[in-house]
Chains A and B, each alone.
Chain A
Amino acid sequence: EVQLLESGGGLVQPGGSLRLSCAASGFIFSNFAMSWVRQAPGEGLEWVSSITGSGDSTSYADSVKGRFTVSRANSRNTLYLQMNNLRVEDTAIYYCAKDTSAMDVWGQGTTVTVSS
């Protein structure tokens, strides 16, 4: 069964850092680009970042550029999102998704709350 499982969310103060992980199973992880998508409370879906299957190319939304870093460990079938200098407006559920232009598999999400 194809599955994605996020972890690493939590409560952090403004200016703090968190690292999210997304464990993949059921498919050849290194063959596929992956994306992070977030959803603020009561809001819609917002693309955050993407990384190619090999990890040699990344892209970021302007709202997180310079603060977030996406990476992957294909040997461990794991995707990461390092989030630094967090802001209140980064509060959201963060989803990882297998990205083939269409995001055909999603994790259940991990919640990040940025608050003092």
Chain B
Amino acid sequence: SYVLTQPPSVSVAPGKTARITCGGNDIGRKSVHWYQQIPGQAPVLVISYDTDRPSGIPERFSGSTSGSTATLTISRVEAGDEADYYCQVWDRPSGHPVFGGGTKLTVL
């Protein structure tokens, strides 16, 4: 089955830029969605279809894809951005969603 690979952790200082990657075979041919999960809360969609930002999500959040990697970029990181972030695609061959293992973002 399709596998999405994320780094377990990323650390960044406040005000700097965080980049969280998501690797998968031919991921550029799939639509990638990103979720933020603050500890103790339900996941929230922050980027859909590679680059779209849902209503209410700050412009500091952006998404991109290149080759076999999708990237979630968080600019001007704030303490409140500290959370787990998950990428997700719809795997057509299996007919179901697939999540990456998640990346814990730590704001130093």
List chain A positions with a Cβ less than 8 A from chain B.
Answer: 35, 37, 44-47, 50, 59, 61, 95, 99, 101-104, 106-109
Contact = CB atoms under 8 A, between A and B. Distances in A.
A103 B43 contact: yes
Contact of A95 (B31, B43, B48, B97): B43
Interface stretch (B11-19, B71-79, B88-96): B88-96
B101 A102 contact: no
A107 B90 CA distance: 20
Nearest to B84: A44
B99 A45 contact: yes
Contact of A44 (B48, B86, B96): B86
Interface of B: 31, 33, 35, 37, 42-45, 48-49, 54, 84, 86, 88, 90, 95-102
Contacts of B44: 106
Scoring A102, A107, A108 by chain B CB atoms within 10 A of each residue's CB, the highest score goes to A102
Contact of B97 (A47, A106, A107, A108): A47
Contacts of A102: 31, 33, 45, 48-49, 88
B42 A95 contact: yes
A43 B99 CA distance: 12
Contact of A59 (B31, B45, B88, B96): B96
Contact of B43 (A45, A59, A99): A45
A31 to B, nearest CB: 18
Contacts of A107: 42
Contacts of A61: 96
